[in-house]
Amino acid sequence: MRSMPGLTSALIAVVLVAGCSSSRTDSGPTPNGTVTVFAASSLKNTFTELGAQFEKDHPGTEVTFNFAGSADLVAQLSQGAPADVFASADTRNMTRAVDGGLVAGQPADFASNTLTIVTPPGNPRGITSFGDLTRPGTQVVVCAPQVPCGSAAERVEEAAGATLTPVSEESAVADVLGKVTSGQADAGLVYVTDAVAAGDRVTEIAFPESGVAANTYPIAALAGSRNPDAAQQFMALVTGPQGREVLSAAGFGPP
């Protein structure tokens, strides 16, 4: 019976080790339920892929998305739209969300993107430079100034010393791309990632001035989140190695 104290101590040690080995302190609580992500429209393909990966890695979770222009998303959130995560196509709209008390914690930059010119296949107007977009009769479509891709377009105009006269200003970069692929415009300014996703539906014309207007993409958990654990872990996926791989394959640069 004198050996019992030693045996008790050994049993306690085993229990403690087992408890430590079964805990998930390295990755946080196991997420479950629905996580709602508000994301810039230029993230649709990559985030849809990452959402599917998240659901596969965490059975019992469901990722739902609302893709739109970043300014529209901030407006929806400000009006009380329920969401867990916000991913913006620029820091300006994320700052608006932070200043409005919508964000919990600090946003994390996870990607960057630059503008490029797209035309219908074969480039029927023979556009070779940004300046060519100002030629009389050229129907150009851009994003509205309050949208990140529109703000970037304004910076490019300034750098190139060329002023565009667009026939349409869209609220999301996806709409600009749609105008070009449907033949309603001779050219449009979209992100490199949109041109990559469009494939042979467009012809891409890169231009050097685009480098002055690279957009940084931040992501943040939202203060009104109903599923903060899942929100944090979805952010970890986006900002981690898997997210970087998916984003890089789509044409996104590092933050």
Please enumerate, by residue number, every residue annotated as part of a binding site for molybdate: 42, 70, 173, 191
Q: What does the radius of gyration of the chain's CA atoms come to, in whole angstroms?
A: 23
User: Are the CB atoms for 174 and 44 separated by under 8 Å?
Assistant: yes
Please tell me the distance from the alpha carbon of residue 149 to that of residue 158, in angstroms, as a whole number.
Answer: 14
User: Where does residue 17 rank: exposed (0-12), middle (13-18), buried (19+ CB within 10 A)?
Assistant: exposed
User: Are the CB atoms for 85 and 222 separated by under 8 Å?
Assistant: yes
Residue (of 110, 123, 88, 79) closest to 224 by Cα position: 79
Please tell me the distance from the alpha carbon of residue 102 to that of residue 147, in angstroms, as a whole number.
Answer: 19
What the block records as the tokens of 86 is 């916000």
Looking at residue 253, what DSSP letter applies? B
Q: Are strands 85-87 and 33-40 parallel, antiparallel or unpaired?
A: parallel
- Going by the annotation, the residues of the binding site are 42, 70, 173, 191
